[in-house]
Amino acid sequence: MIEIRIHPKIFENHPTFRRGIVIAGNLDNQGHSPELEDRLNRAIGLAAEKPIDLKTDPLATAWNEAHRQFGSNPNKFPPAHCALLKRVQKPGARMPFINKVVAIMNINSIEARTPVGGDDVIRAGGHLELRYADGSETFAPLGNPESIEHPAPGEVIYVVSESKEVMCRRWNWRNGHPTRITEATRIIVMNIDGLGENSETRAVATRDRVARTIENYCRAEVSTTVLTPEQPVYAFEA
């Protein structure tokens, strides 16, 4: 049994926060998809043609303020989707095609201007929680698993409760290496976060778009939910 939980303090301090959840099993994440690569390139091209001001855009500023609230400097440690948008808004920007699920995450992060991330459930397992760190947790950065870090006390982290292994630091800044999504991944939990005005509507719309795309391109068995102050926990059989 896998349980996903948002700590009540997160909703208390960020009452508009909503997390859309996509669970995809029997995933086929192998091989290249020219169609998805084309969609990714088109999303990048449109972002470069119509760039947004990340200093004033309400979807960006809501996240920047949330990061400041738990003591993180978003200029030094930007939310991942803001860093992604800054990267692709440059003329001639390109991104590598890593695998189908990663492409789907990047496409939707760019198009919806919202955090979209995910983890390999088999690598993670147990109870997955978004909560404040106490500083004892460990984090192996994506691409650099030998470099073990500890989050600052009070930092928002996404963590495996049993092992205290952090899957994502600073809420949505950087992913961990152990639960990264690879071509061998067979079950994922994908998180689509909303914050600010109409957060639930936006999170659910992006969640459903992600779910359809994973069904179409990865032939996965998909289920969805949304975590809210009224429903902060969701459990499922992996």
* Domain 2-236 part of CATH 3.50.40.10: yes
Among candidates 221, 178, 219, which has minimal Cα distance to 30?
A: 219
Strand ranges for 87-187 from DSSP E: 116-120, 127-132, 156-160, 165-169, 174-175
Sequential DSSP letters for 181-207: --TT---EEEEEEE-STTHHHHHHHHH
pTM assigned to the model: 0.96
- Find out whether 28 and 219 touch, Cβ atoms under 8 Å: yes
CA 93 to chain centre: 22
pLDDT of residue 113: 96
- pLDDT (tens, 9 = 90+) of the chain, 238 residues, equals 999 999 999 999 999 999 999 999 999 999 999 999 999 999 999 999 999 999 999 999 999 999 999 999 999 999 999 999 999 999 889 999 999 999 999 999 999 999 999 999 999 988 999 999 999 999 999 999 999 999 999 999 999 999 999 999 999 999 999 999 999 999 999 999 999 999 999 999 999 999 999 999 999 999 999 999 999 999 998 8
